[in-house]
Amino acid sequence: MKTFPMFLQMAGRCVVIAGGGEQAAQKARLMLKTEARLRLVAYDLEPELAGLVASGRAEQVREATVEAFAGAALVFIATGDAARDTALHAMAKAAGCLVNVVDRPDLCDAVTPSIVDRDPVVVAIGTEGNAPVLGRQIKTQIEQLLEPNLGGLAALAGRMRSTVAGAVPQAQRRALWDWVFAGPVRAAHARGGEREAARMLKDAIARGQAPGETGQGHIALVGAGPGARDLLTLRAVQRLQQADVIFYDRLVDPAVMELARRDAQRIYVGKTLGAHEWPQERIDAVIIAAARQGQRVVRLKSGDPSLFGRAEEELRAAHAAGIPVEIIPGVTAASAAAASLGRAMTERGATDHLILATATARDGVAAPDIAAMARPGATLALYMAVRQLPRIRADLLAAGWPETTEVEAVASASSAQEVQCRCILGDMDRALAGLANPAIIFVRFAKDAVAVPQTPHLQVVSA
């Protein structure tokens, strides 16, 4: 990020616009949305700018000098003449000003964003001068997302903030505002029911909490998907935005965390192979403890929480503690891997069974019998199987499946580090030797294939 977005306080501050033509008028229209004082540096002004001076909304300085720029919070240079703009830029910099030269990104300290104005709600979109047309297209999309009178609701909330602070316990305030902006209050205001919206908000303040809130904490087991953050569900993003504390795994992509509420506490509870710093019992204990404090807890897991994510243990712990808990499904790695390969996991007439299995087990428990799961017309999707490849290959061959059985693998599906491999069962050890977790191994058993168990060869020797 080469430019840092920041909203400047403009009330009573001076903004200088150098130029008297249409380009300068465009910048003046933008600044008229603020409470800044305008100073126009130009000998001649086009009619619109002249009208601003006549009305007292702007002052005119006819001669451009360093002093003409003195004290300005922001300077726009818009004469339309490249040489003149360069000279004015030097004057403004000599006066110590922050400068924007129209259509000259090389001379800009500040870049004008595309703006969605729902005062006091303001959305600014910037492309660092690289793609202004894209910025305007994004502006159009956001304009369609935000109701025209949204600013009025924000203003109502601003007027009621001190009342909420005095009447609603701090632990309940975020839930109240979530209810206001994502529930019936906003819906009523959007359809023109300003009085109805205000009444509902005041009723909730009188109760000391949003309708349906109990002050009790809540746990959401949220699926982060396989990696790419745009594969998260809308509900998953919503829970991340609402969270007070987020407990996240090693495999959760850092880009996913960018979608979370900025001031949410973030606690890493990942497990590294060979170094189990966070045993499951400890994870259960800390998420329950946070929820008991009235916090909104997100347990963020890669993939889908209900598939090999130990969600059942966390569900049991929450139920035993009487804490409300929910599962937010995520895109599981097998789905993402199949999509990356450009293949479906099932096919009518060819693949009528889909088996999702793990190749690992808890310490002291026998490894899953992969060969027992195989059957003609099935796709076997194996999680956590990379270290078990020699055993899987040996077991399937011993069960009589042909060496030509199709195998595909995807590591780090949907991420920039994604790796794809295709081979046959007989070459699986060699072909997938360099594969690293997280990975999905697909074994596709043909519909017409029949496993013929290998039996020891008996040689009869005559006496």
Question: Which pair of tokens denotes residue 254?
Answer: 């850092």
- Which tokens is 415 given? 């991420």
CA angle in degrees (0–180, nearest 5) for 250-336-276: 20
Q: Which of 249, 253, 284, 304 does the annotation list as catalytic? A: 249
In angstroms, rounded to a whole number, what is the distance separating the alpha carbons of residues 438 and 415? 11
- Cα–Cα distances (Å) from 240 to 221, 301, 425, in that order, read 11, 12, 42
Residue 103: phi and psi, rounded to 5, are 60, 20
Q: Pick the catalytic residue from 93, 109, 117, 271.
A: 271
Other Cβ atoms closer than 10 A to 438:
20
Q: What tokens were used for 449?
A: 């294939």
Reference 73, options 138, 22, 153, 13; nearest CA is 13
Residues 6+ apart with CB under 8 A from 135: 113, 114, 125, 126, 127
Q: Can you give 64-111 as a three-state secondary structure string?
A: CCHHHHCCCCEEEECCCCHHHHHHHHHHHHHCCCCEEECCCHHHCCCC
271 catalytic residue (yes or no):
yes
Catalytic, 2? Answer no
Residue type for 361, please? A
The tokens describing 285, both together, are 């204990």
Sequence-distant (6+) residues with CB within 8 A of 425 are 393, 396, 397, 401, 402, 403, 404, 405, 406, 407, 443
Q: Which residues are catalytic?
A: 249, 271
